[in-house]
Amino acid sequence: MNLHLHFILLNSEFNIGLANDLYNGEESEDNIKHLWEDEMQVSETVKDFKIKNNAIYKLAGYYPDNSEFSFDIWDMTIVECNTESGNQMQFAVSKKLLKNTEKVVEEKTGDTHLYFYLRDSTPLENPMTGVYIVRTDFPKELKLINSKT
């Protein structure tokens, strides 16, 4: 199956009443519904996936000096994908960021779309594609590195 993930930052100032009254429920130039959207498709055919709520995400990588780091990020929603080639991929969002989620399966193709609607009132960090962490939960050690580069 093809799995598509959509991460959408909602505009808390969007006025549905104005949209309904003047624009047939649609957004307008001065009344934007979504501030941005990151859309991606898992690069391999997905055999299966599961969604874990209230999970711990392991943010791992390398410092500029090539030493490894690993931090546990709590209260995350994680999508774990197992591909037909045997690879496992993870995508993660802080639970505090989520306003709503939605799953849509296209009848004709069987493609699955997962939508994650994010609150704009909570600052976030996006350290890599498909990972969105509340700024207050992001490791301070990594913030210091980013501010130096």
pLDDT at 13: 77
Is residue 120 within 8 A of residue 11, CB to CB? The reply is yes
Residue 20 phi, psi dihedral angles, 5° rounding: -65, -45
pLDDT at 21: 74
pLDDT at 149: 40
pLDDT by 10-residue block (mean), the chain, 149 residues:
96 72 73 88 96 97 93 98 97 97 95 97 95 96 61
Is residue 78 within 8 A of residue 51, CB to CB? The reply is yes
pLDDT at 100: 96
pLDDT at 1: 95
Distance CA 110, CA 108 (A): 6
| Pick from 60, 80, 78: nearest CA to 132 | 78
CA distances from residue 66 to 62, 81, 87, 140 in whole angstroms, order as listed? 5, 28, 24, 18
pLDDT at 146: 52
pLDDT at 55: 98
pLDDT at 118: 97
